[in-house]
Structure 1
Amino acid sequence: MLVAAAVCPCPPLLVPEVASGAAPELDAARAACGDAVALLAAARPEVLVVVGPADEEGRGAHLAGASGSFRGFGVDLGVRLGEGPHQKRPLPPSLAVAAWLLDRTRWAAAPVEGLGVAESLGGDRCADVGRQLAGRAERVALLVMGDGSACRTLKAPGYLDERAAAFDQQAARALGAADVDAIQALDAPLAHQLKAAGRAPWQVLAGAAQGAGLAGQLLYEDAPYGVGYFVAAWS
């Protein structure tokens, strides 16, 4: 059963070494992520599953001990997802950011596993995956990585799309309220058009939280670089 969840953004820029001189711009987001992870630990889960967007190579299960790096972003920095034997398949960037975040907060509350979710996964299938995750143990926690739209400004990765602000507002409201129905109702084709990588992981969370009776709190909401970033805690 799902007992707690944290929602965090997953840009590699969250890692100060990657952001370099621009690192202070995301200090508030990093602090909020740390607070959300601390609430996960306080829930005393038996297992923590990290869920994040992934391409075809990175999707699927990543066992404890899986490693990743930020070399593709110009930084010779490696990370590992929990404690376990070395895994040949590298973590996708979203789970590498999660591994960095857990290491930064010195996570030791429960064993950790990862799940890379394809952007193409439909809402109903996401919910099914979430229900399976929630059934893994009596006390399951999720760390859900994902960004909102990437079309909030002219300089955003996806350029300016007038629909982006409304989409992000809907997503932020749903994540902050732990409103599983509203999250499940997010428009997948629109999310794809707006390059909102968090849609599928969020809908996995919605499936896992069905019937759990969790309350939510939005800890951070902003759109630096024209991308919607949200941090929420459910408990």
Structure 2
Amino acid sequence: MITRVAVVPYPPLLIPELTVRSGAETAQLRGACLRAVSSLTEVAAEWVAVGVDRFGPAVLGPATTGTFASFGVDVPVSLSAAQAPAGGADPLLPLPALVTGWLRAQAGAARATAHLLAPDLDAQRCREYGRELAAGPDPVGLLVLADGTNCRTERSPNPPHERAEPVDELLRTALAEADADRLLELDATVAAQVGVEGRAALHALAGAAEDGRWRGKLLYSDVPFGVTYHVAVWSRL
């Protein structure tokens, strides 16, 4: 059973060792993410994480280890507190799993299992996948890794797109109000156009949240480096 949900982005800049100059914007984003995931360990020592990767679907268990070496610095991480990352850590571990491992350690969670969905998985199947994640009898925290749009401003990786701001507003409202139905309004084609690479994970959240009533709290929503990042916590009522 999902006891609480944390929605966070997963840029490498969350990791202090990978940030050459950590300004106020980075610190604010990182702090919001750490507050969100710390709330998960308040109610569950075990996490289920869901993200998106082009090699998905894949499930990475708690014994998984990795390193941020391919991003420039060898920062080892593990999906379990009992599995110390060592020299054999996977340097090609997908970014959502790497960030999950780093956040797990920061928040003091015992273990995490990372579910990586294919980016083109249709909304209904994502919803069904989310239901499956929520079906277990044991209490777990759900970590959802998803960025917002990446074409909002001149600083964005892609040219500004007229649909980007409405999509971010939809996500911002849905996450703040714990509105699963509104998340399902996110069209997969439009999401791809405006760079919401975690769209499948957000649709999985909609399915996972169907078994209860939730209260949402938006901790962060901004476009600090041309990419929109939303951070939110959903708690059961």
TM-score normalized by structure 2? 0.91
Q: Which residue of 1 aligns with 2:131?
A: 131
Q: Give 1:38 shift.
A: 2.0
Unpaired segments ≥5 residues, structure 1: none
Secondary structure at the residue paired with 1:210?
A: helix
Match of 1:93 among 83, 95, 99: 95
Q: Give 1:123 shift.
A: 0.7
Secondary structure at the residue paired with 1:20?
A: coil
Number of residues of Structure 1 aligned to a counterpart in Structure 2: 231
Q: Which residue of 2 aligns with 1:215?
A: 215
Q: Which amino acid aligns with 1:152?
A: R
Secondary structure at the residue paired with 1:169?
A: helix
Unpaired segments ≥5 residues, structure 2: none
Q: Give 1:92 shift.
A: 0.8
Q: Deviations over 1:37-71 (max 9, x none)?
A: 122122236x4101112121x54100002122212
Q: How does 1:155-194 map to 2 (within 5 A)?
A: 155-194=155-194
Q: Give 1:139 shift.
A: 1.9
2:59 is the counterpart of 1:61: yes
Q: Which moved more, 1:17-26 or 1:114-123?
A: 17-26
| CA contact 1:52–1:145 (8 Å) conserved in 2 | yes
Q: Which residue of 2 aligns with 1:145?
A: 145
Secondary structure at the residue paired with 1:159?
A: coil
Q: Which residue of 2 aligns with 1:206?
A: 206
Q: Which amino acid aligns with 1:184?
A: L
| CA contact 2:50–2:201 (8 Å) conserved in 1 | yes
Q: Which residue of 1 aligns with 2:29?
A: 29
Q: Which residue of 2 aligns with 1:50?
A: 49
Q: Give 1:25 shift.
A: 2.6
Q: Give 1:36 shift.
A: 1.2
2:138 is the counterpart of 1:117: no
Q: Give 1:84 shift.
A: 5.8
Q: Which amino acid aligns with 1:78?
A: P
Secondary structure at the residue paired with 1:181?
A: helix
For 2:199 and 2:119, the matched residues in 1 are separated by 8
Q: Which amino acid aligns with 1:229?
A: Y
For 1:203 and 1:91, the matched residues in 2 are separated by 23
For 1:2 and 1:81, the matched residues in 2 are separated by 18
User: Aligned-residue CA RMSD in angstroms?
Assistant: 1.9
Q: Give 1:88 shift.
A: 8.0
| CA contact 1:215–1:234 (8 Å) conserved in 2 | yes
